[in-house]
Amino acid sequence: MTPSHLLYLHGFRSSPKSFKAQRLQRWLAEHRPAVHWWCPQLPPSPREAMAMVREGIAGWPSTSAVLGSSLGGFYATAVAEATGWPAVLLNPAIDPARDLARYIGEQTAFHAPEERFFFRAEFIDELRALAAPSITHPERYLAVIAKGDEVLDWREMSARYAGAPVRLLEGSDHALSDFDDHLPHLLRFLKLCD
């Protein structure tokens, strides 16, 4: 079933200006203009971020899907588990409570370095509270995982999504700079193209 609504969740320090989000939004505008697209600017607090997402998708139909990159992949997993929607995960964070503990303090936004935000110690507990123990329907997930990811361990990502369709890349990087090479695969998984 072709999704009528698509939610894209960006990563830590990222924004809707993420080149992957922008690229996908452009493709949809050109090829699937009827698909409702939402890529919100997520607040630093994981609890607030998920509350915003839950409120934003409250009226969405079962014909929706979610995509997430890095920390957004962690959030997308929580959304997919709660809704039953298909999910595409791009180098998804597996244990952000562990990995982001060293970022407590003032941070700069990746796409607007002049913008600063504070990543608070209590956000670590908020991340722990959101962690899904396991994925219940691996077939609903597509994980695009780069062995060349300089931030996250590809083995940990692969193990988390065992049983799911996984596109394991020999190289690439955390940002998936070669995203255009993988776009057709995720579009096919979401049944947005043949």
**What are the pLDDT digits (tens) for 28-62?**
999 999 999 999 999 999 999 999 999 999 999 99
- Identify which has the larger pLDDT, 46 or 175: 46
- State whether the Cα torsion 131-137-139-140 is positive or negative: negative
pTM of the model: 0.94
CB 50 within 8 A of CB 78: yes
pLDDT of residue 146: 94
- The confidence score (pLDDT) of residue 193 equals 86
Query: Across all residues in the chain, what is the average pLDDT?
Result: 93
Q: Which residues contact 58 (CB under 8 A, 6 or more apart)?
A: none
CA-CA distance, 31 to 45, in Å (whole number)? 34
Of 68, 74, 81, whose CA–CA distance to 46 is shortest? 74
pLDDT at 134: 87
Helices (H), the chain: 19-31, 46-57, 71-83, 96-99, 122-130, 154-160, 179-189
CATH architecture under which domain 5-189 falls: 3-Layer(aba) Sandwich (3.40)
